[in-house]
Structure 1
Amino acid sequence: MNSFQRFFHQPFFIRLFNWEYWSFGAVYACIYPVWFLLCLRARSFFFFAAANPRIRNGGFLNESKEEIVPMIPEEWHPRTAFFALPCNADHVLAELQRKGLSYPLMGKPNVGGRGRGVKVLGSDDDVRAYAQTAFLDFHIQEYVPYKNEVGIFYCRYPDQDRGSITGIVEKEFMSVTGDGVHSMRELLLKNKRALMYMESYETIHGEFLDTVLSKGEKHVISPFGNHARGALFLDVSHRTDEMLTETIDALCRQIPDFYYGRLDVRYQSWEELKAGKHFAIIEVNGAGSEPTHIYDPKHSLFFAWKEIVRHWIILNRISRQNRRKGHPYLSLREGIEMFRENKALSEKLDAMTD
């Protein structure tokens, strides 16, 4: 890396020239007028609540995983234990033992957002620490060993029997491959994406990053399929075909009144996923879902705007159809309260994040 490259190899310039690292407000500011027009068409600023009537706020904000998980067919979701605050760590450990959950496990807040508060739990001490420092009700989920993860965006109009896949994102976890000479920290600092999240990696791994891996040895730094935790998002929407659509549609139609959202799925192989075998639904996200395939580095901001607006229009149509079927929008008071609650929840999520 020459001096010119080193000068631009800094978080400020990486963020400046790569829109995927921009803030939510910066990305969405130019298309907010479109959202406003859709609100006028629905005659409500909170039309999205009718998109998925069984999910709180349609899954736009503040939805509880404890309410969503029971809607997912049990065979397609990892075993999960839910806990409400205040919570005794001994009770948590006893419940995990009762359910037969063994390490590693995943700790997650019941109301989440962008991977905040999600941690890998590898021991009783980890579970105790997580329970004692939780600021929100949480759940502990068995770790899904499948090595691949995708986000599949699904939409179905209420007046139609069949839904469709409108985008697929493949997620590559942040990892480092050793060269037998440099430490993991040194290798990560050479990686533009890793550099953007080094503060978090330092907090989590500390001196372990000084380890020198043997040549060709690979270590996963962040086992989370979340863009805000360093995962690389790749648009693989072209892999959508009839077989996959049938599998996902059949699954989603078993989730009561689910019409719009993204499934985060871990799977063993693509062919098995298409056949409906050897996969697990990690999360179901509703009306607040982003079409995350837009974050593929190859895509321009203009492509992202086009895809976001396309999905907003679908969301609006689904919501209006459900409204005609008797499912209400949020009132102005309910909508304002939703945002107030989200602000308080967001502060607690930030406090749970390393």
Structure 2
Amino acid sequence: MASIRLNQVVKKYDDNLIINRLTMECKEKEFLAILGPSGAGKTTILKMIAGIEEVTGGSVFFGERDYTRTSPQDRDLSMVFENYALYPHLSVRENISFPLKSPKKKGQFSASEIEKRVQEAAKMVGLDDKLERRTDQLSGGQRQRVSLARALVKKTSVILMDEPLAHLDAKLRVQMRGELKRIHQDLGATIIYVTHDYIEAMAMADRIAVTNNGELQQIGTPEEIYFQPRNEFVATIVGEPPMNIFQAELAARDGKVYGSWEGQTFEVPLPGSFSGKAVDIGIRPNNINLVPAGSDNSLAAIVDDVEPLGRQQIVTVQVGGRMLVVKSDRDRSITLGQTVHLQFDYAYLHLFDTVTKERMVL
């Protein structure tokens, strides 16, 4: 199996356009995460790759072969669902072995080969000591592992995963992220993973495809998505709290460019050609520093809310009539209504066009 490529793929339900001329590629043996909010079309993309949903227009290629009209059972892939889709009256062993005993697979595997594969898959997910247990006697995390093992037992070159960790608690999600990454490295399979959780995408994926309203917004490495977002949507879907974005008027004075926002000005490291323009400025909460009063190039703000988070705190402040969110260390005492002073880390400043919302490359 080589890469998986979607070429100008369109999906409609009646007159409703769900996927709009989507073109993207998952490379061979790559872990690709499809990231987006609810309704972005993520699961529909996965189902079209699997052949469960028909493509309205465009093509789906596995390597150089067009699989657009190929039935799901003839595609060399397996799928892990959000809801586990297990048989509760069957044992772990029986659930894992089920794909090898389907009518289409009848006679392809001997009993000894099936048992060998079941043992390998169960060991890979840490369930080799629970093969005789019924799945309705397992915890949510264990049932998710059974679902994963059932996909692994087929030994396909492509594994599709649809929000498989969505129903697990925070501790289990962290554990399963590490295990999925290890399994990918051990198997060398191509994995396409759908999620609305940017932390999952950033932690596991080689590349991330960000989608919204059925359109691809950006595809790139986690570092590219975080540090070089293509537009304001990508900038705000990654990071918690999300990136602050506000509109400022730029003007040149004494050979420097200044931004004017809510009655205050601050120097912006831009060429003079930006003078006279209105831009959307983006800055992440962790790239805003709280500085002493009178510090150069700082903005005055009033503290509106303080949210303690262990060693850090999320501080919401008002600048004029607008809100900014700042992430700061807990060693600084901050109270509601207090006047604080902010200083941007200009190495991490982002500019976006106020109309198109696209990132402006300096």
TM-score, length of structure 1 as denominator length: 0.24
Task: Say which structure is richer in strand.
Answer: 2
Q: Which has the larger radius of gyration?
A: 2
Task: Say which structure is richer in helix.
Answer: 1
Q: Tell which has more relative contact order, 1 or 2 (C-alpha 8 A, sep 6+).
A: 1
TM-score, length of structure 2 as denominator length: 0.23
